[in-house]
Structure 1
Amino acid sequence: MLHRLWIHERGTRHQPFTIFLLLPIFFLLAFFYFIKLADAKADRIRKEISKEIVFAGRYLIIELESGVPLYDSFSNIAKEFQVVGPYFAEIIGKVDLGTTFEDALNETISITPSPQLRKMLWQVLNALKTGAEVSDSLNIVFDQMIREQQIEAKEYARKLNPLAMFYMIMAIIVPSLGTTMLIVMASFMQLNLGITVLIVLACFVGFIQYMFLAVVRSQRPPMDI
């Protein structure tokens, strides 16, 4: 009885020390998790902007070439586009409050997470400072963006070939042949394959297919053209 009481008291004394050791590890893991979470969110925003930026740029060029003022063109983009629209709405809001167009563009350029949107706004800002035609500068920028997206699409198509081969082998051929061979070997060895084994195999195949879809989705270029 005394021995058990001594063991209990010893374990109780070590509990605060164990918690003290685990707390830094917990906070460290939480710290890196939130850092990665912020990076993932910023990356998602960049991809969403990249899907709309070409359409928004073409829309802006058409508006400017049709004689629509830059202020009204930005207002129309803010209304028509869901992802890039808030950035243009922010510029318009600052201009309405008395900020110059150049300063409003500079402030938005400094906070936007998308390099493509930043490049677009830089061209507008430089055109305003130099007095050049905004549409001409934007045409050059978006021609380059379209070429870059076409290159990314071709690279994505080349990456799909080995991924499709991997999917055929690991998600179709190996499970079907492996299951057949397993059943045949089990019948020769007089082993009883229960439902649990089949469920595990089905879960494994589902996991492989999920991983394949996740890899394909992560490799997909951020465009919608």
Structure 2
Amino acid sequence: MPDRVPIMLLPANVVRKLGRRTFPPVMLLLPLFPSLKGTLQEIRSEVGVDSFVTASLFSSFIYGLIFFLLSFALLSSRPITTDPLIFSIVLGAVFWLMFFILHIYYPGIIVKKIAAKENKDLLYALREMIIDIDGGVPLFDSMKNISAAGYGYISADFDWVVRQVESGVPEREVLKQLALKTESEFLKRAAWQMVNALESGAKMSDALEGIAVAVEEYLLREIKNYSNNLNFLLLIYMLVGIVAPSLGITFMVLLSAFSGLGVTIEAVMMLIICTSIFQVVMIGYMASTRPDLFGG
């Protein structure tokens, strides 16, 4: 698993080195994120929570610095009443805070993405296991085939199971450990079904068939729910991203005719910045909630 989140600007080796030094601000921030340590463990990151928070502060500061420089360069080239330095500092600080919060919560997003990818890959892995078992292949050999079949996180999980069994751990105990450590609800159910089938002597393929049907129905529901939500999200996107800027400028022009304040460059820039941020957030939300059924 990667030791850094995709939006982090610092490489993994730098993140580890930062954790070797103790920064007082980081020690004050750690109690604010009690679940972060467990989340990093769930994504199997080797980076400690103190290293991750430190790296998040530095990475988000770089983002804030970029927005500060862009804002200051843009405002300094235009005659405005507001001090461009103060406005740029405030804007940079706001983006620093926003990106820091995003860095902290992004491992939780990764956990959900891993569980979603596991559910997608699990359907095909279960189908292959059912065919193998019905064809007379032992369960261990079937799991070994899954570990080498390229089913993403599912193959990695079963590769761990195979290595544990080959090292001498009983098959049932390893499957129980898999059920406890995975974030995929359906993989948990599949692992417990295999344990129950091994202990009771029930037909393994029948136990796995029920899980495969449940996964397939779940994925179809996800697609339907996303399709329904996407229509509403597109409506909000068009209202805020297209209609709101046009009407906002129109209202400011009308109000300036009565109040005499005029339409300042600061007001127009704030409108552009706010709508741009909203559009980026909406696009990111629509992309992150898209069912990862076929990958990509």
CA distance in 2, matches of 1:154, 1:173: 28
2:191 is aligned with 1:121: yes
More displaced stretch, 113-122 vs 125-134: 125-134
CA distance in 1, matches of 2:292, 2:36: 20
Q: Relative to structure 1, is the Cα distance of residues 192 and 170 closer, same or farther in structure 2, using a 3 angstrom cutoff?
A: closer
2:275 is aligned with 1:205: yes
- Checking the alignment, whether the CA contact within 8 Å between 2:253 and 2:263 is kept in structure 1 is no
Q: In the TM superposition, what is the alpha-carbon distance from 1:180 to its structure 2 partner? A: 4.4
- Checking the alignment, whether the CA contact within 8 Å between 1:49 and 1:114 is kept in structure 2 is yes
Residue 200 (structure 2) aligns with: 130
Residue 285 (structure 2) aligns with: 215
Residue 214 (structure 2) aligns with: 144
Q: Which amino acid is 1:60 matched to? A: M
Question: 1:84-99 to 2 correspondence within 5 Å?
Answer: 84-99=154-169
Q: Which structure features the higher share of helix residues?
A: 1
**Which fold has the larger relative contact order, with Cα–Cα distance below 8 Å and residues 6 or more apart in sequence?**
1
Residue 127 (structure 2) aligned to one of 52, 58, 83: 58
Greater CA radius of gyration, 1 or 2?
1
CA distance in 2, matches of 1:28, 1:82: 38
More displaced stretch, 108-117 vs 212-221: 212-221
Q: Relative to structure 1, is the Cα distance of residues 126 and 221 closer, same or farther in structure 2, using a 3 angstrom cutoff?
A: same
Residue 262 (structure 2) aligned to one of 179, 188, 191: 191
Q: In the TM superposition, what is the alpha-carbon distance from 1:83 to its structure 2 partner? A: 0.9
- Checking the alignment, whether the CA contact within 8 Å between 2:115 and 2:183 is kept in structure 1 is yes
Q: In the TM superposition, what is the alpha-carbon distance from 1:170 to its structure 2 partner? A: 0.9
Q: Which amino acid is 2:128 matched to? A: Y
- Checking the alignment, whether the CA contact within 8 Å between 1:50 and 1:222 is kept in structure 2 is no
Q: In the TM superposition, what is the alpha-carbon distance from 1:148 to its structure 2 partner? A: 2.2
CA distance in 2, matches of 1:217, 1:82: 20
CA distance in 1, matches of 2:210, 2:187: 14
Q: What is the SS of the residue equivalent to 1:49?
A: helix
CA distance in 1, matches of 2:253, 2:196: 71
Q: Which amino acid is 2:127 matched to? A: R
CA distance in 2, matches of 1:75, 1:96: 11
CA distance in 1, matches of 2:174, 2:182: 12
Residue 248 (structure 2) aligns with: 178
Residue 35 (structure 2) aligns with: 35
Residue 178 (structure 2) aligns with: 108
Residue 70 (structure 1) aligns with: 139
Q: Relative to structure 1, is the Cα distance of residues 159 and 73 closer, same or farther in structure 2, using a 3 angstrom cutoff?
A: same
- Checking the alignment, whether the CA contact within 8 Å between 1:42 and 1:113 is kept in structure 2 is yes
Q: In the TM superposition, what is the alpha-carbon distance from 1:117 to its structure 2 partner? A: 0.7
Q: Can you list the C-alpha shifts for 1:118-170, whole angstroms capped at 9, x where unaligned?
A: 11111222222222322221111111221122223222222222222211111
Q: What is the SS of the residue equivalent to 1:204?
A: helix
TM-score (norm: length of structure 1)? 0.74
Q: What is the SS of the residue equivalent to 2:153?
A: coil
CA distance in 1, matches of 2:263, 2:238: 29
Q: Which amino acid is 2:125 matched to? A: A
Residue 169 (structure 1) aligns with: 239
More displaced stretch, 99-108 vs 30-39: 30-39
Q: Can you list the C-alpha shifts for 1:84-134, whole angstroms capped at 9, x where unaligned?
A: 112111111121122222122122222222221111111222222222322
Residue 9 (structure 1) aligns with: none
Q: Relative to structure 1, is the Cα distance of residues 171 and 37 closer, same or farther in structure 2, using a 3 angstrom cutoff?
A: farther
Q: Which amino acid is 1:179 matched to? A: I
Question: 1:145-160 to 2 correspondence within 5 Å?
Answer: 145-160=215-230
CA distance in 2, matches of 1:35, 1:71: 35
CA distance in 2, matches of 1:95, 1:116: 22
Q: Tell me, which stretches of 5 or more residues in structure 2 are unaligned? A: 1-23, 40-107
